[in-house]
Amino acid sequence: MIRFKETGFYTSIQDRGRFGFRHLGVPVAGALDQISYQNSNLILGNESNTAAFEITMLGPTIEVLKRCCFCVTGADIEIDLNAESVPINTAVIAEKGSLLKIGRVKNGLRAYLNFKGGFSSEIKLNSASQFSGITKENRVSPLSTYELKEDFSNLISEYKSNTLVSTVEQSELMQLEVYKGVDFRLFPKEFIETLTKTEFMIGSSVDRMACQLDTKSELAHTIDRLSSPTYVGAVQCTPSGKLLILMRDSQTTGGYPRLLQCTKHSVNRLAQIRPNQRLKFVLND
Amino acid sequence: MNFKESYEIITVPEQGIEIIWDHFHQNPDFFERIAYVYQALKSEMKTYEAVEVSMIYNKISVICSLELVQQVKAHLKKSVDKSSGHKIESVHWKIPVFYESELAKDYAYLEEKLQLTRTEIKELHQSRTYTIYGIGFLPGFLYMGELNEKLNVSRKLNPDLHIESGSVGITGAQTGVYTVNSPGGWHIIGHCPIPFFNPSSENPAWAKPGDVVSFFEIDKNTYELIKIQVETTVFDIKKYLNDSI
């Protein structure tokens, strides 16, 4: 068993996502950075849909009440096991009674803490991904405990590390690959030039629903349509000219026109972007 | 306008396709045919696990892999051809509303804005049968219309941060019931005791696009009784089908 002494800034349980209920208004949810999440299962040799804890900005402090094997992937983050630093992207054994303290993110925004064999949590509509109105809680709460599914009391050394694709942006200006969105055709030609020439700034809101960019008055418009389906990675443009990039918890329908569509890889990269970082769109044909 | 010729198929890169019928407002008969095409596509594609078919108003969205797009398009064409004169499977739900609930806190504003009394607002809301145009915004939230024009009011400029699950709201030509606690900008005129979404069930929502809904007023005692039924799972949504009342 593990117990959360502190939960960190925002820690939630996530997996690949919830499929087959979109027509009922249920967002797909799931780990925002699917690449880093899948890496955690690869390193531990888990089944690919084993749920992990998604950590944002500041990690949790956890009491390990049963010998286990864990790893952390994604953003560059401080990981201390019994006050000793352990590496990222590496399977590490924690003895019973250990204290695992995950600190601040140094680069990127989200990290994934996963356990070999997985842990028990509430499954709703075929997924462990926490979401308001579907699961009882939308994030891990203080002092909550989770049962580890398998016993690793005899596991000897699992110091397995991996060189992996990183989704964390290294350059000052993110070049984000996008396609034309479903409603691209409704916008005037001048928009397109503005879009690809302009540098955008990430706003203060980068939650699981959407990533907001700063308002550009050149992108203001009066296009008004009936509510439409939305897609993960759709870039909506509000009448005032603010771009909203929809993430995995976003509602399944929305009123703003869908100007661009991010590649799936772009969505994973956006999961690691921070407020005030700069971004430029690269339009694929 | 010809239904068969007035739709466009738009590629949603790395996601699937979206089918859009233009001229929707001018052709009220389009909706039923779109709902038919949606139901047909959904049932044709149900064997594929990774395919998600959904609809709202004049659009059908199909999330699927690139390899399946041709197959989806073929089914689409077939069901569009078959859609004329085909009756969709449609159910009429009669939903109880406690209009005197203390959660219905926007009457003062509405009475002033619409120049109607509370009784008139309640009666106008119950006077029509509404079409479900789609599900979205919140899990199980039904987009329903058209409201009587006398009830047309634009959404709140500053949305409320907390609207209680079950709250019945109106805005523009639409009415809807909040299915979970959420922020929201619609004006609240009543509270509905029955759940619209149950994440513990294999079929978490009872309604579908193309079904119709009407509302009837209940008093406090009936409201409390239904709430108890819901909590003790004696509740059965089938009782609220039109023909059982």
Q: Is residue A199 located within the same domain as residue A99?
A: no
* Buried b / exposed e along A147-170 (16+ C-beta atoms within 10 A): ebeeebeeeeebeeeeebebbbbe
Please state the rounded mean pLDDT for residues B216-235. 91
Partner B contacted by A45 (CB < 8 A): no
Which residues neighbour B92 within 8 Å (Cβ) at sequence distance 6 or greater? B129, B211, B212, B213, B214, B241, B242, B243
The domain defined by B92-244 carries CATH number 2.40.128.130:
no
Please state the rounded mean pLDDT for residues A38-54. 95
A230 belongs to a structural domain: yes
* Mean pLDDT across chain A: 93
Q: Are strands A278-283 and A173-180 parallel, antiparallel or unpaired?
A: parallel
* CA nearest to B51 within chain A: A20
Report residue B245's pLDDT band, with 50, 70 and 90 as the boundaries: very low
| A251 within 8 A of A148, measured Cβ to Cβ | no
User: What integer pLDDT is reported at residue A191 of this predicted model?
Assistant: 87
Note down the domain range covering A265. 173-283
Closest CA to B189 of B106, B94, B95: B106
Give me A179's structure tokens. 């396609």
Q: How many pairs of residues across A and B have Cβ atoms under 8 Å apart?
A: 109
Please state the rounded mean pLDDT for residues A170-187. 92
End-to-end CA distance of chain A: give it in Å, rounded: 50
User: What integer pLDDT is reported at residue B91 of this predicted model?
Assistant: 93
B138 and A25 in contact by Cβ < 8 A? Answer: yes
Partner A contacted by B100 (CB < 8 A): no
Number of domains in chain A: 2
- Which pTM does this prediction carry? 0.93
The 8-class DSSP code of residue B243 comes to G
A252 and B143 in contact by Cβ < 8 A? Answer: no
| CATH, residue A180 | 2.40.100.10
A68 belongs to a structural domain: yes
User: φ, ψ for residue B47 (rounded to 5)?
Assistant: -75, -15
* Buried b / exposed e along A248-263 (16+ C-beta atoms within 10 A): bbbbbbbebbbbbbbb
pLDDT higher than 70, residue A159: no
Q: Is residue A67 located within the same domain as residue A195?
A: no
Domain boundary among A128, A146, A164: A146
Which of B9, B10, B14 has the most A C-beta neighbours within 10 Å, making it the best mutation to test the interface with A? B14
Beta-sheet strands, E only, within chain A:
2-6, 10-14, 52-56, 61-64, 68-81, 84-85, 92-94, 99-115, 145-146, 173-180, 200-206, 210-213, 228-229, 234-237, 243-246, 253-254, 258-262, 278-283
Give me A152's structure tokens. 């690793």
* Buried b / exposed e along B149-185 (16+ C-beta atoms within 10 A): eebebeeeeeebeebebbbbbbbeebbbbbbbebebe
CATH number of B3-82: 3.30.1360
What are the sequence ranges of the domains in chain B?
3-82, 92-244
pLDDT higher than 60, residue B118: yes
Partner B contacted by A280 (CB < 8 A): no
pLDDT higher than 50, residue B44: yes
* CA nearest to A21 within chain B: B52
Q: Is residue A138 located within the same domain as residue A45?
A: yes
B14 and A263 in contact by Cβ < 8 A? Answer: yes
- Min Cα separation A186/chain B (Å): 13
pLDDT higher than 70, residue A166: yes
CA B60 to chain CA centroid, Å, is: 15
* Neighboring chain A residues of B55 at a CB cutoff of 8 Å: 23, 229
A23 and B55 in contact by Cβ < 8 A? Answer: yes
* Neighboring chain A residues of B20 at a CB cutoff of 8 Å: 182
A166 belongs to a structural domain: no
* Mean pLDDT across chain B: 93
Give me A260's structure tokens. 């661009």
Please state the rounded mean pLDDT for residues A207-225. 92
- Min Cα separation B138/chain A (Å): 6
pLDDT higher than 70, residue A19: yes
Instruction: Indicate the residue of B20, B136, B182 with minimum beta-carbon distance to A253.
Output: B136
A161 belongs to a structural domain: no
User: What integer pLDDT is reported at residue B117 of this predicted model?
Assistant: 97
pLDDT higher than 80, residue B218: yes
Instruction: Indicate the residue of A134, A231, A251 with minimum beta-carbon distance to B15.
Output: A231
User: What integer pLDDT is reported at residue A153 of this predicted model?
Assistant: 81
Q: Is residue A114 located within the same domain as residue A181?
A: no
User: What integer pLDDT is reported at residue B243 of this predicted model?
Assistant: 61
| CATH, residue A138 | 2.60.120
A24 and B52 in contact by Cβ < 8 A? Answer: no
Q: Are strands A84-85 and A68-81 parallel, antiparallel or unpaired?
A: antiparallel
